[in-house]
Amino acid sequence: MFMSRLRQIPTHHLQSTINRSNCGRRYHFAGFATVAVGKRALNIPVVDFSGYRHSGSTSEKRQIADQIVSAFKDSGFLYLAGHGIPTYTVQNVFQKSADFFKLPMAKKAQLAWEDPRSNRGYVQVGRERVTQSADADEIAALRASAPDFKESMEIGRDWDKTWRNMWPLEADVPGFKQTMLQFFQTCHELHTYIMRAIAVGLDMEEMYFEDRINEQYHNLRLLSYPPIKTSLLTKDGQARAGAHSDYGTLTLLFQDNVGGLQVRNPHTGEYQAATPIPDTIVINCGDLLSRWSNDVLRSTLHRVVAPSIQPISGTEGVTPQRQSIAFFCNPNAGAEISCLPTCYSPSREKKYQPVTTEEYIVGRLKATYM
């Protein structure tokens, strides 16, 4: 949508368009989040997915599929409503995540992340430095000068015979393992539905991706952004999480109400806040889905910056605690990511050589962590 000037729509105006019923939690939206960024505004639409999950109507499914694909073509991001995950389920995951991060460092350190092929375990503040750079020396320098101020807990499929999840003791965080395993499965099932919609929106058979994503080669990441003083965020390139794209097919992001996520407008290079909207999930397209689609769908840069500062003196302030839950959806480890049949033509050549999921993701992880 081209506009010379566009007024920002406050979050509460978007929320006022939500119509909830007691049965089925259906949503109806009359707009999208947008902000003035010069000649072209970045639109992050709110898509009601309930019709795709429940409707037997081919036309309604196609309409919703087209909305999702259109969003990924334009900005690479959308808010998903009507996704079917109850609010209390998400709240419980956030609570268990908070309980884990409250553990003493000595207990968390026993579960330390060890290997990019596993991508499981606890990552302490400063160990990861997300970036688009592929240069190991450059990433090391960034990590030393401006590390990401966040800690995380990485969880994969629990039945993997080669790589095991690293769980806290049940006595330390009661119900943690069971909660996370159930949520992992719930997110995988939602991801499968969204990939079906993407297939439809790209004019392919609905089940095209089914046997390419069924091994659950995903990553559930619990994220904690501790409070941090303003003075520590003034270094060049510093952020709570640096600008980056995600590696896989989709990311399902569950935010708290603190905020801080920003999306880079691919048309102008400016960043827009992806303001939390209750009962929605922020969904973005990852690198492998973008490669699969020959860049028809966008994998867009995003970052996490400091939200509103709370002053603690005349010259110093502190950011509030922030939590988020990210579910990184990936194709099967051995799946070959080569151009989809509807995404190239004589006028649109294939841009990438085939690569397997494992080759791509492990390569990115090796460069990201120390």
DSSP-derived secondary structure for 276-293: --TT-EEEEE-HHHHHHT
Least confident span in 72-76, 86-90, 315-319: 315-319
Backbone angles phi, psi at 34, to 5 degrees: -155, 160
Could you write out the DSSP letters of every residue in 231-263? GGG-STT--SEEEE--SSSEEEEEE-SS--EEE
Q: What is the structure's pLDDT at 313?
A: 61
Instruction: Tell me the whole-structure pTM to 2 decimals.
Output: 0.82
Q: What is the structure's pLDDT at 43?
A: 86
For the segment 101-130, what is each residue's pLDDT rounded down to a tens digit?
999 999 999 999 988 888 999 998 865 544
Q: What is the structure's pLDDT at 94?
A: 98
CA distances (Å), origin 224, targets 80, 97, 258: 23, 8, 12
What are the extents of the domains in the chain? Answer: 11-368
Contact of 76 with 285, CB cutoff 8 Å = yes
Q: What is the structure's pLDDT at 75?
A: 94
For the segment 306-316, what is each residue's pLDDT rounded down to a tens digit?
665 665 566 65
List of long-range contacts for 121-126, beta carbons under 8 Å, 24+ apart: 121/153, 121/154, 121/166, 122/151, 122/152, 122/153, 122/154, 122/166, 123/151, 123/152, 123/153, 123/154, 123/369, 124/151, 125/149, 125/150, 125/151, 125/226
DSSP secondary structure code for residue 321 in this structure: P
Rounded to whole angstroms, how far apart are CA atoms 97 and 179?
A: 10
Could you write out the DSSP letters of every residue in 27-57? -----EEEE--TTB-EEEEEEE-HHHHH---
Contact of 366 with 343, CB cutoff 8 Å = no
The dihedral through the CA atoms of 85, 320, 79, 292 has a sign that is: negative
Contact of 251 with 286, CB cutoff 8 Å = yes
Average pLDDT, the chain: 82
Average pLDDT over residues 221-235: 75
Greater confidence (236 vs 228) lies with: 228
The CATH code that applies to domain 11-368 is: 2.60.120.330
Average pLDDT over residues 34-43: 58
Q: Which tokens hold the place of 117? A: 């092929």
Closest CA to 239 of 247, 228, 224, 248: 228
